[in-house]
């Protein structure tokens, strides 16, 4: 049973890794071109482990932004994880605090979707969770370092289509969780709201605001629409 949980976690991490690899490669190339060393890029991937956060950090640092500007911008962009944590609390409330902290270190959009989908049909198991998170994290770290090392040999990222890796992965995640018409409607609402907010200039807060409003719509749907 012990080996089965780890094997299952690694197996379910493979699709995540397929999305992480080109995105991490692209980040490594961009960060290397911005003047970061492979060691710095690897440490950022280990300690921060946030695709959007790392891209933003490199852009801000390259532009000469101050320390607290970088920190608060990353916190704002990643504030959506507060909502993820609220959902995951039902699965970790009986686990030791140190284990919960270790699991949450590997929380990303992708591992959140895969783990919650898995726990709908299976009992929450920290071995599965750790295997899923650690495997995904290793792929991300190695791909960013590889991108940093190979940066000089990849002059044009756009020609390889690597810049579409992140949107493609989120599209796949949406279809993994859109189990019924109400879920699809919530996803469409979130997308429309996000685009409107970006049009209004709220590019930093659009994800968290769109998530809250779409989740509110989902509560209304569940209460008033049968099925």
**Domains of the chain by residue range:** 2-161, 178-227
- In tens digits, the chain (227 residues) has pLDDT values of 568 788 899 999 998 898 888 889 888 988 888 889 999 999 999 999 988 888 888 888 887 878 888 888 788 778 778 888 888 888 888 888 888 888 888 889 889 989 888 888 888 888 999 999 999 999 999 999 999 998 767 666 666 666 565 566 667 667 766 667 777 888 888 888 888 888 887 666 677 778 788 888 888 887 777 65
What was the pLDDT predicted at 226?
Answer: 67
In whole angstroms, give the CA distance from residue 58 to residue 41: 10
Phi, psi of 220 (to 5 degrees): -65, -45
What was the pLDDT predicted at 168?
Answer: 66
Q: Which string of b and e fits 42-75 if b means at least 16 CB within 10 Å? A: bebbeeebbbebbbbbbebbeeeeeeeebeebbe
What was the pLDDT predicted at 134?
Answer: 93
Nearest to 133 by CA among 117, 110, 116: 110
Cut 0.85: pTM above it: no
With vertex at residue 173, the alpha carbon angle to CA 11 and CA 158, rounded to the nearest 5 degrees, is 100
What was the pLDDT predicted at 178?
Answer: 66
């Amino acid at each position: 049973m012990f080996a089965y949980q780890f094997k299952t976690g690694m197996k379910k991490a493979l699709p995540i890794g397929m999305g992480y690899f080109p995105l991490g490669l692209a980040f490594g190339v961009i960060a290397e071109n911005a003047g970061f060393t492979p060691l710095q890029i690897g440490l950022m991937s280990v300690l921060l482990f946030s695709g959007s956060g790392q891209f933003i950090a490199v852009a801000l640092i390259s532009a000469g932004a101050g320390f607290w500007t970088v920190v608060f911008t990353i916190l704002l962009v990643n504030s959506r994880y507060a909502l993820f944590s609220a959902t995951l609390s039902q699965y970790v409330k009986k686990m030791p605090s140190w284990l919960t902290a270790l699991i949450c270190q590997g929380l990303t959009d992708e591992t959140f979707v895969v783990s919650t989908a898995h726990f709908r049909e299976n009992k929450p198991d920290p071995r599965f969770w750790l295997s899923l998170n650690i495997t995904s994290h290793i792929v991300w770290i190695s791909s960013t370092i590889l991108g940093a090392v190979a940066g000089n040999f990849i002059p044009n990222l756009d020609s390889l289509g690597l810049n579409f890796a992140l949107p493609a992965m989120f599209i796949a995640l949406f279809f993994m969780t859109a189990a019924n018409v109400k879920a699809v409607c919530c996803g469409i609402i979130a997308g429309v709201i996000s685009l409107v907010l970006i049009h209004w200039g709220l590019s930093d807060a659009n994800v968290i605001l769109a998530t809250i409003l779409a989740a509110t719509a989902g509560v209304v749907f569940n209460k008033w629409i049968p099925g």
